[in-house]
Amino acid sequence: RIAGPGALVFFGITGDLARKKLMPAVYDLANRGLLPPNFAIVGFGRRDWTAQDFADQAREWILASARTPFNETVFAQLAAGMRFISGAFDDDGAYEQLAATLDELAESRSTGRNHAFYLSIPPSWFEVVCQKLSEHKLAKDKNPGWERVVIEKPFGHDLASARELNQIVESVFPPDAVFRIDHYLGKETVQNLLALRFGNQMFEPLWNNKYVDHVQITMAEDIGIGGRASYYDGVGAARDVIQNHLLQLLALTAMEEPISFDADHLRSEKEKVLTAVKLPEDLGAASARGQYTSGWQGAEEVVGFLDEEGFNPKSKTETYAAVKLEINTRRWSGVPFYLRAGKRLGRRVTEIAVVFKKAPNLLFTDHEDDEFGQNAFVIRVQPDEGATIRFSSKVPGTQMEIRDVTMDFGYGNAFTESSPEAYERLILDVLLGEPPLFPRHEEVEQSWRILDPFEEYWASLPTQPDPYAPGSWGPESSDELMAKDGRTWRRP
Ligand code: BG6
């Protein structure tokens, strides 16, 4: 799988994401031999840069963040195809320049007029950029060649705004030319969920309400949100990561087996299961939210969320959210899916834990009241990529004593191959025109349908989100959410 000729146009090239992830990922692809030597990259931004300035900056970003070693020859080849368009996103002159540059690159770099427009910009600009691309005949360029548009989340703020956004983008680019990035789908371990579930015979028979007690999906981060006030205030943990990453993980965990991994088959199954998500009647009892206070994160003293620079000190934005969902299908009816995400938690970890029911007739009753005997299959998405199965075993000795043990699969031990960064995989797929890993607008809208009622409920509360200490596992209300059901959160 090697990309063909083309030009990748980055809007918002000087932003954080482009500097830390996108340019390094493009370089890594080139370094792994997955881009053609004459590939072209166009930066579009407000800075007054020349192509040389852009290349100099790109070199620094790559040196700081690329995964593969720096290779002068590879970089020189890439840099020869770099151009910079200096202008505002609504500046017609800049789009004329862009059109001329793409003409020039079609000649000098034989791009075949294949153009991918990557919008790493605030969503409020999506409409303008799409319209300008259309007006300047770049959204449907001269033949031959293809045009694709890549959009970064957030895909809207709620269902209504997501619909509007989808309409705008898809009025300019046909649906199969729109690539919505959810970088979790680019992660090796997330794709491996499909392999684990559908490439093996031993898990699937147990993957249903007869054997599964509940599922816990956790995305814990130890970082705070210093420096991201302009994005995060008014967004919060649920909109930031539950609406997209965690609901995608839920969809992959719970969906039926697709007929194939074709984009349409895979995405239809995800959409179907998201459509079957049932909202709880009592939203308060089925959710929790919190804000981290000041305190200690390990050896580091950290400020509380409300004292982070740029945030309204009365902000009700949550930095932790947990929700309980059910899925109305024959397979899952009665099995709660608990999703939680938070900043400044005990450690950085993302995992999916499928927790099984206890054996119906526990012979070893000493431990009946705790988690003993409750098998679990845990897919460790990051950082310690792999999977764990928990089961009971006899403790060596003359007594029949039983203890829970784990059986581990770790990527580091099992494979010598290294995992590509999520953005490498996704950018390559955009260039190859392979859409399975990019959510369709229906999935995005279903996810908002699920989240909106929680958001509305939280917004109606007069109180602040519940406080929790940095380095903890979230507010007490989140533990209570589980306790009400006689369950506990895992401590990964
Ligand atoms: C982003 C969120 O989508 O994912 C961030 O906006 C979050 O708030 C990030 O920190 C986490 O990504 P990863 O790949 O480090 O888990």
Place of tokens 């700081």: 64
Q: Is the pLDDT of residue 367 over 70?
A: no
Angle CA 349–320–314, to nearest 5? 145
Substitution site in 151, 183, 308, 349 for ligand 1 pocket (most atoms within 8 Å of beta carbon): 183
Q: Whose CA is nearest to atom 8 of ligand 1?
A: 240
Q: Is the pLDDT of residue 364 over 90?
A: no
How far is residue 360's CA from residue 175's CA, in Å, rounded to a whole number?
49
- Model confidence pLDDT, tens digit, residues 19-55: 999 999 999 999 999 999 999 999 999 999 999 999 9
- Partners of 277 in the β-ladder: 327
Q: Is the pLDDT of residue 402 over 90?
A: no
Supply the pLDDT for residue 36. Answer: 96
Ligand 1 surroundings by CB, under 6 angstroms = 221, 240-241
Buried b (16+ CB within 10 A) or exposed e, 198-219: eeeeeeeeebeeeebbbbbbbb
Supply the pLDDT for residue 270. Answer: 98
Place of tokens 């829970």: 404
- Partners of 215 in the β-ladder: 337, 354
Q: Are 121 and 129 in contact (CB under 8 A)?
A: yes
Q: Are 471 and 295 in contact (CB under 8 A)?
A: yes
Please report which confidence band the pLDDT of residue 418 belongs to, taking 50, 70 and 90 as the band edges.
Answer: confident
Q: Separation of 19 CA from ligand 1 center, angstroms?
A: 15
The ipTM value here is 0.99
- Model confidence pLDDT, tens digit, residues 104-162: 999 999 999 999 999 999 888 999 999 999 999 999 888 889 999 999 998 999 999 99
What's the whole-number average pLDDT of the chain? 95
Q: Separation of 219 CA from ligand 1 center, angstroms?
A: 9
Q: Is the pTM of this model over 0.90?
A: yes
Q: Is the pLDDT of residue 368 over 60?
A: no
Supply the pLDDT for residue 403. Answer: 87
Q: Separation of 144 CA from ligand 1 center, angstroms?
A: 37
How far is residue 419's CA from residue 424's CA, in Å, rounded to a whole number?
10
Substitution site in 187, 190, 221 for ligand 1 pocket (most atoms within 8 Å of beta carbon): 221
Q: Is the pLDDT of residue 187 over 70?
A: yes
Supply the pLDDT for residue 132. Answer: 97
Please report which confidence band the pLDDT of residue 196 belongs to, taking 50, 70 and 90 as the band edges.
Answer: very high
Q: What is the mean predicted confidence (pLDDT) over 205-218?
A: 98
Radius of gyration of the chain (CA): 24
Q: What is the mean predicted confidence (pLDDT) over 432-461?
A: 97
Supply the pLDDT for residue 399. Answer: 86
Q: Which atom of ligand 1 lies nearest, measured to the CA of 348?
A: 16
Q: Is the pLDDT of residue 369 over 70?
A: no
Q: Which atom of ligand 1 lies nearest, measured to the CA of 219?
A: 16
